[in-house]
Structure 1
Amino acid sequence: MPDMFEHLAHPLLRQRVRDLASGAEGELMAVVREEVRRVCGDPEYARIAYIRMASGRELPTSVRNIEAV
């Protein structure tokens, strides 16, 4: 059985980014390919970015929502 998620390379890893959806800023800690649901037994995946904010909390968002600051 394959993993439910896998870490992906991204050019902005460990750099300061902004989440366009929320306006939050922080350091891009990881980009992960996660299984989000199964349709007729076949998995669907999403690329999720994890941004660590100044508070230390991490915010998950779509990779399409991030930009360099």
Structure 2
Amino acid sequence: MSEVREYLPHRLLRQRVRDIASGVEGELMAVINENVSDTGIERWAEIAYVRGPSGREFTTAVSNIEAAAGQ
């Protein structure tokens, strides 16, 4: 099996973003292309890591993030 993750550049890194799935805003900390398979057959997904208002990070699909209002 190949590497399980790869960091990707993104125009909103270190900026305030909104997760459209949950409505939560936070700072985009990383975008990672991860192998999310647990079967041995590779399945890759681009995952956004967002640090929310509580200081804890949560994940969402990259397609679910947008610049927060005022950005």
* TM-score between the two structures when normalised by the length of structure 2: 0.87
Aligned-residue offset at 1:2: 2.3
Which amino acid in the other structure matches residue 47 of structure 1? E
Number of residue pairs aligned between Structure 1 and Structure 2: 68
SS at match of 1:67: strand
Partner of 2:57: 58
Deviations 1:48-67 (A, max 9, x none): 00000121100100000000
Partner of 1:8: 8
After superposition, the CA RMSD in angstroms is 1.4
Aligned-residue offset at 1:3: 1.3
Within 2, Cα distance between the matches of 1:9 and 1:67? 15
* TM-score between the two structures when normalised by the length of structure 1: 0.89
Within 2, Cα distance between the matches of 1:45 and 1:11? 21
Aligned-residue offset at 1:38: 6.2
Large movers: runs of 4+ above 3 Å: none
Unaligned ranges ≥5, structure 2: none
Aligned-residue offset at 1:19: 0.2
Bigger shift: residues 1-10 or 25-34: 1-10
Kindly, what percent of the aligned residue pairs are identical? 59
